[in-house]
């Protein structure tokens, strides 16, 4: 009986935690459901022939509730994954350097390798499908689980298998400390000396500062228009994207964040610091924070978008920790563009659509962006 009461105690604690959350977001708790869960666990411990474990049963109950929501971004985080998450918050994270997301078919798509990362140096490309980590197939684990397995101690290696053009390839890649690479690259185009080209590979805590320094450097050379390249940028730190938008967007909204209770937090621009014609390059791997920036520039008529439709990741997750070190990651808000367009699962359609084929000899999207910008500069 001691084991039964321990399990019931664990379940009551779990239910109390969930009740607090559900009441907080306005969901009415039916205590008949609570009684049903409690009785189920009691019967399992009283009647089930095999061995039972309170932690396993409690974790299974939570996972089942979250899975029933049908939201791939809402998941249960075990102790190991939570420890990795806390390392990420502290900035002490070691991985291979990729941005990855789950597509509409449930596959884990590599949006892009980080610039100068071990993954990029090993030959990992945007659009590769992650199929296995350390021999474990990805269809048996969550996206968070796959990411967690790719992280580890500095100097250690991890084996990953990716699919490209229908064939699988396996790589052994050494881990490095994430967040230590440059994220902004800029130059005055050689054959178009009045155009500044800037590329953001990801949004880190330092990206907005890097971007401002790069813009100021290029201003010394003089330019009449800007091409901002957000292709294969899987997102990152939202505040950095908002700060960069404030450089170009005139007074008005940059992004609306709509919470579960219906409240709206609007991030605004006050006055553009730089008023020049602008084109933004986007593609199917432009996601999350990149879409916030692209959407703000498009909706405010600050820039034309050239390329292909963006990824469509417009949701916000919060992480809530339990006393035992596990946690729940739950979707609690969504992003809307300044014109209040919901891009999640849809993406942003460019003003000018240009496909970039694998066998292209030149960057046709960049060439089109130059044409569009030159017409705006006349």
Please identify which residue in the block is written with the tokens 């999640």.
344
Each residue's pLDDT tens digit, 222-250: 899 999 999 999 888 899 999 999 999 99
**Bridge partners of 197?**
187, 227
Helix (H) or strand (E) holding 45: helix 31-47
Active-site option among 204, 299, 304, 329 = 299
Output the pTM of the full model: 0.77
Q: What is the CATH number of domain 92-177?
A: 2.30.42.10
State the CB neighbour count (10 A cutoff) for residue 165: 8
Each residue's pLDDT tens digit, 344-369: 999 999 999 999 877 778 999 999 99
Burial-class residue 228 by CB neighbours within 10 Å (0-12, 13-18, 19+).
buried
CA dist., res. 255 & res. 340, Å (int): 8
What is the pLDDT confidence band of residue 11, given thresholds at 50, 70 and 90? low
Active site residue 288: yes
Question: Is the CATH number of domain 184-318+329-377 3.40.50.720?
Answer: no
Active-site option among 298, 304, 313, 368 = 313
Please, how many CA atoms are within 13 Å of residue 179, restricted to the half-sphere of its CB? 13
Active-site option among 117, 142, 201, 288 = 288
* Tokens representing residue 70 in the block: 């049908």
The answer to whether the CB of 264 falls within 8 A of the CB of 258 is: yes
Please, how many CA atoms are within 13 Å of residue 196, restricted to the half-sphere of its CB? 23
Each residue's pLDDT tens digit, 314-325: 998 888 988 888
């Amino acid at each position: 009986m001691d084991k039964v009461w321990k399990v019931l105690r664990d379940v009551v604690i779990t239910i109390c935690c969930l009740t607090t959350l559900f009441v907080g977001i306005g969901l009415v708790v039916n205590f008949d459901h609570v009684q049903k869960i409690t009785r189920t666990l009691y019967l399992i411990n009283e009647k089930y022939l095999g061995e039972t474990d309170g932690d396993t049963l409690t974790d299974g109950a939570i996972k089942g509730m979250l899975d029933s929501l049908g939201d791939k971004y809402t998941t249960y985080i075990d102790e190991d994954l939570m420890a990795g998450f806390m390392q990420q918050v502290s900035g002490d994270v070691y991985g291979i350097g990729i941005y990855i997301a789950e597509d509409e078919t449930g596959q884990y798509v590599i949006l892009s390798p980080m610039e100068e990362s071990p993954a990029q140096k090993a030959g990992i490309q945007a659009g590769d499908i992650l199929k296995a980590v350390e021999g474990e197939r990805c269809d048996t684990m969550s996206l968070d689980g796959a990411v967690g397995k790719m992280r580890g101690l500095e100097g250690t290696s991890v084996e990953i298998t990716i699919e490209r053009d229908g064939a699988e390839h396996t790589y052994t890649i050494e881990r490095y400390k994430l967040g230590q690479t440059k994220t902004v690259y800029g130059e005055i185009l050689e054959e178009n000396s009045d155009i500044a080209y800037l590329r953001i590979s990801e949004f880190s805590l330092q990206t907005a500062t890097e971007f401002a320094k790069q813009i100021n450097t290029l201003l010394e050379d003089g330019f009449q228009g800007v091409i901002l390249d957000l292709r294969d940028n899987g997102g990152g730190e939202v505040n950095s994207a908002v700060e960069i938008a404030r450089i170009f967007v005139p007074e008005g909204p940059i992004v609306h964040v709509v919470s579960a209770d219906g409240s709206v937090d609007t991030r605004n621009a006050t006055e553009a610091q730089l008023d020049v014609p602008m084109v933004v390059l986007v593609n199917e791997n432009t996601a999350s924070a990149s879409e916030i920036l692209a959407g703000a520039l498009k909706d405010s008529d600050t820039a034309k978008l050239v390329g292909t439709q963006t990824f469509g990741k417009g949701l916000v997750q919060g992480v809530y920790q339990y006393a035992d070190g596990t946690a729940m990651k739950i979707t609690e808000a969504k992003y809307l563009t300044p014109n209040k367009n919901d891009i999640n699962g849809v993406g942003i359609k460019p003003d000018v659509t240009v496909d970039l084929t694998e066998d292209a000899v030149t960057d046709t999207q960049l060439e089109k962006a130059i044409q569009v910008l030159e017409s705006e500069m006349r």
